[in-house]
Amino acid sequence: MDANSPEDAKALANEANARLQEAYEEVLPQWKILYAEEVRFNRRLSVPCFLDVQPQYFSATARIVFVGQQTHGWWTEWDGCAESLTVTRISDFYRETRPKLLRNYRSPYWQAIRQVAIRLPIAEPESSIVFTNIFPCDVDKKQAPLHLHETFRLWRVLPRELEVLRPDHVIFFIGRGYLSNLPYFFKSPVLGKLSTTTPILSYTPEGASWNGIVSFHPNYLRRAGLWSALDKIVHLASVPH
């Protein structure tokens, strides 16, 4: 169902959030076990990023989801113990935090999202775009150790989110290091390799309803002088899907 009215958009958002909560309820107990294990090694696992989608997303001209690498320390401190955390509390936190991240953070990642969002025909980007990650959390505000990547993949958070959100375009700012996760999640190979001469790849897995656009992380785009790749991303995300 498409959102033909505000009431339709609200109904779609309510349905999506119920399905997302169901998926996250399966993941959170596993995160708590892993969190306790990492504490033993004096490592701090961040709170996972759980989405709460707004009606504006479903009423947008194009549904856009941005995918980064991991949370990079978005939420590492909270009152109480890990056992007290609930899916609702986490999704409420990220619903309140998303506009602040989009408006205020000056890193190349957020600059790139702002630039792409402003140039696309998206009304109310603070509510209508969604951003998530290959992995839902980090360790000590950095990339998690490699031995945890398999655990994160088994949670399958990203593919379940995209199944619920049914985006038109998914923009992956992930770089070569995270590219290998896409075939694992979506069972289709990535055709081509990211390079300085090919900083953009198209990726639409078999059976997917969305058009995927894969690029380097914006930190690298900035360092390598490839910032103009955002122009092509905007063009590709402007094409009706």
The mean pLDDT of 31-45, rounded to a whole number, is 91
Q: What is the pLDDT of residues 138-147, one digit of tens each?
A: 998 888 888 8
Calpha distance 95→89 (Å, rounded): 10
- Whole-number mean pLDDT of the chain? 90
Model pLDDT for residues 78-105, shown as the tens digit of each residue? 666 778 899 999 999 888 888 887 887 7
Least confident of 15-29, 37-51, 169-183: 37-51
3-state class of 96 per DSSP?
helix
| pLDDT at residue 78 in the model | 67
Express each pLDDT in 176-227 by its tens digit: 999 999 999 999 999 999 999 999 999 999 999 999 999 999 999 999 999 9
6-238 architecture in CATH?
Answer: 3-Layer(aba) Sandwich (3.40)
For residue 76, is pLDDT > 70? Answer: no
Helix (H) or strand (E) segment spanning residue 65: strand 64-68
Over residues 146-164, the pLDDT tens digits come to: 889 999 999 999 999 999 9
d(CA 168, CA 93): 26
pLDDT at residue 99 in the model: 80
**Tell me, what's the pLDDT at 163?**
96
Could you tell me if 53 and 127 are in contact, meaning their C-beta atoms sit under 8 angstroms apart?
A: no
